[in-house]
Structure 1
Amino acid sequence: MNALLTLLGRTGLSLIFIISGWGKIAGYAATQQYMESKGVPGALLPLVIALELGGGLAVLGGAFTRWIALALAGFSLVSAALFHADFGDQMQAISFWKNVAMAGGFLVLAAHGAGDFSIDAWLNKRRGAIAR
């Protein structure tokens, strides 16, 4: 049951980043302008897309999960502070706390790993078989 629940949790955490990464590609110029309006250099957008899309896909597959989860936890917290810290706007406040919650999920994933249904588990089993 733990392996299945971990897979479902990874899936839920990853989908928002995969979808967001694709959305940033589709709306590249608008996203770049929005970032710059918040004081973040638009030149960082390719790195943001790579982290969201690549990191989301890695978490979905369970590859390099602990490190990617730590990176996405940090990204979620920085993003909350830079883009959603307007507590006078209820939607921005909700987005802020949603990012904090996602960071918490990623920290749990970093602590416990990707689970049995993952590329990480497959690689660990393969390494064990080679070591014998």
Structure 2
Amino acid sequence: MFQLTHTIQRFSAPLGRFLIGILFVQAGLGKVFSYAGTADYMLAMGVPSILLPLVIIAELGGGLAVIFGYHTRIAAFALAGFCVLTAVLFHADFSDTTQMIMFSKNMALAGGFLFLVAHGAGALSLDNKVK
């Protein structure tokens, strides 16, 4: 039974990192390919569109770092903050059910990232290969 538990733990970490990280890679790529529309949306929400390149870097870079387990704790901490910030700036209209769900999703993602901060990337990661 120990071997099965160990195997599940060993492979659940990279799978979990992939599942949480790919969301941000896709979002970053989406912003690259719809740059003008995203910039307009940011402006409409009162956020300067000059920040869009930083958002793209955070999503792509942070997402890839989490997926590959590279400086995972730092990337996860940054993305946790990013999730809370975007929840507050873009999804705090609790009179709109969709926005309330998006707010909750972002906060849950922040929680997942904080779990990575606390426990690290796991055995199958670049963090554990580069020592």
What's the TM-score bracket when you normalise by the shorter of the two chains? over 0.9
| 1:87 is the counterpart of 2:94 | yes
What is the TM-score of this pair, normalised by structure 2?
A: 0.93
Alignment partner, residue 22 of structure 1: 29
1:27-74 Cα offsets, whole Å, 9 max, x none, are 000000101111111000000000001110110000000000000000
Q: Across the two proteins, how many residue pairs are aligned to each other?
A: 124
- In the TM superposition, residue 110 of structure 1 has moved relative to its aligned partner by 0.6
Q: SS at 1:87's partner residue?
A: coil
* Structure 1 unaligned regions, length at least 5: 125-132
Select 2:44's aligned residue among 34, 37, 53. 37
Quick check: 1:104 aligned with 2:101?
A: no
Residues 5-31 of structure 1 show CA distances to partners (whole Å, capped at 9, x for unaligned) of 111111111011000000000100000
Pairwise CA distance, 1:3: 1.9
Deviations 1:70-92 (A, max 9, x none): 00000000000000001111111
Farther off after superposition, 1-10 or 95-104: 1-10
1:56 aligned partner: 63
What is the match of residue 68 of structure 1? Answer: 75
Structure 1 Cα separation of the partners of residues 119 and 130 of structure 2:
16
Q: Which amino acid aligns with 2:93?
A: D
Q: For the aligned residues, what is the CA RMSD?
A: 0.6
The question of 1:77 aligning with 2:84 is answered yes
Residue aligning to 2:125: 118
How far apart in 2 are the matches of 1:88 and 1:16? Answer: 26
| 1:2 corresponds to which of 3, 9, 17 | 9
Q: 1: distance between equivalents of 2:130 and 2:15?
A: 20
Q: TM-score, normalised by structure 1?
A: 0.92
